[in-house]
Amino acid sequence: MVLHGLINKEVKNNVQMGWELELFKSMRSLDDGLSVFEIKCDFSWYNGDHQPSYEFSLVMFNYTIFGLTIYNTQHIKEDDA
């Protein structure tokens, strides 16, 4: 199951934050490899495509048990990079 939405409706300074929540979602098949247990917590605050962002997830046996991502929905322009 994947749920998503916007945190703020207006774009200010090329930033509009969105969120995505994944629960009990298959990541990949066994042919691609096996993730037995993985916890991820990532903060990316630099200015870049879909940045700043925050991600927290728990993966067991190729299934995302819980995954929360908060990110900038906007793409940066070439001259802003």
**Tens digit of pLDDT for each residue in 6-21?**
998 888 777 888 999 9
Q: Where are the domains of the chain?
A: 2-80
Contact 18, 40 (CB under 8 A): no
Read off the pLDDT of residues 48-77 as tens digits, 9 standing for 90 and up: 677 888 999 999 999 999 999 999 888 766
The pLDDT value recorded for residue 76 is: 65
The stretch 15-34 carries a mean pLDDT of 89
Measured CA to CA in angstroms, residue 47 lies from 12, 20, 75 at distances of 14, 20, 10
pTM of the model: 0.77
